[in-house]
Amino acid sequence: MRWKALFVVAIALAASGCAGSNTHDLLNKTAVEAPASAIAAKHDIYVATTRKPAKTEPRQVFSSDRSLHTQYARVDVSVPKIHEIGKIERARGRGQSDPAKHFTAQRAVLYGNAKEFEQAVGADIARADGRVLVFVHGYNNGFDDGVFRLTQIVQDTNYPGTPVLFSWASAGKTTGYIYDKESANAARDDLEATLRMLAKTKAKSIDIIAHSMGNWVAMEALRQLAITGDRDLSGKLGYVVLASPDIDVDVFKKQMLRYGKPKRPFTVLLSADDRALQLSTFISGDKPRVGDYGNAADLAQYGVVVADLTKTQSGDSLNHAKFADNPLLVQLLGKQLRTPAALASAEPGGDQPLENLGSGLGRAVGSVAEIVVTTPFKVLTVVTGGQ
């Protein structure tokens, strides 16, 4: 029976959720040193968050409690040389992170107000190539989960610009689904304001990757920008990647109708075997979610490119984060991201980069895998295994 299958999914969620840690500690109690030869890279992750500071658990830096005002920070993270693409190597439980073995937050810097943050992130953008990657995490994520996931994405895609985490106040536990939905609603204005702030800097292009319930926050912020007549951030909006969107399909269609067809199609990454979204569909009264919707052509008519990843493998049993934990997919995503969106389109509608992603996957996997890319103009099916 279906309810039995969903019970199994619920147990899997309880075991792993959309995140990797139950303690949500980000910082070590004391500094742990490692030789420079053991470190692959260090990344400065800039943060805008609707979480309150974690006063009772300082190692978490920010808690699951909601703040009425956006808080700002920077977290310096090191990646060990033993890192494998698609993975986030973490210490177990509340154990100390060893920089030679684990992703390690070396320090967290808190900014007193928006102006201080804007100056700091603006200086970093000016030093780099003028590109910004904004990541919006999903359901059941602690502050630490978002920091480490964005670090992994930047590392594995070799993204050339400034990474900015938008961390909304997820409860960071599997029983917090309703709390998370309300927190996502409460964060819409804050993400809109953050995007406007970034657009005021010397940024040339602002890319957005949203995951799971974070897609609701991202789409609502983009919808609000459209209502004010600035839907593309004065021409600075780059790629918009919507990974495993936990949004009701009808709601998404209404959001896209209000936004209008994008100048460059948004990319929707979905997978019919996404077990986390199967449970979300059940909780939502059997209303299909965008992230496991079976009619790609229906979505594409609203100006999005749909990449169906159902037959590609995932790094976890829930199949909910293939875009980041499948080594081939995250590298192919990186190949796309490294070319600014304004330069990537090779034909009307801008669907060529996604066709390249599909073809690249087909060449790289070379075995039992298939990706179906549906654009507003056509459908491309790439089948591997010598065909």
Total domains in the chain come to 1
Average pLDDT over residues 208-219: 98
Residue 7 vs residues 1, 3, 180, 283: alpha-carbon distances, Å: 10, 6, 20, 12
Name the residue range of residue 326's domain: 2-383
CATH assignment at residue 157: 3.40.50
Question: Is residue 345 very low, low, confident or very high in pLDDT (cuts 50, 70, 90)?
Answer: low
Residue 142 vs residues 25, 58, 116, 268: alpha-carbon distances, Å: 9, 13, 25, 24
Average pLDDT over residues 37-46: 98
Distance CA 147, CA 170 (A): 13
Confidence check: pLDDT of 4 > 50 = no
Mean pLDDT for all residues in the chain: 88
Q: Which residues of 87-124 are buried (b: 16+ CB within 10 A; e: fewer)?
A: bbbbbeeeeebbbbbbbbbbebeebeebeebbebbbeb
Helix (H) or strand (E) holding 3: helix 2-16
Confidence check: pLDDT of 14 > 90 = no
Per-residue model confidence as pLDDT tens digits over 284-328: 888 899 999 999 999 999 999 999 999 888 888 899 999 999 888
Distance CA 167, CA 65 (A): 12
Cβ(217)–Cβ(187) below 8 Å: yes
In a 13 Å sphere around the CA of 55, the CA atoms on its Cβ side amount to: 2
Give the predicted TM-score (pTM) of the model. 0.91
Average pLDDT over residues 266-279: 94
Q: What pLDDT, on the 0 to 100 scale, is given for residue 21?
A: 59
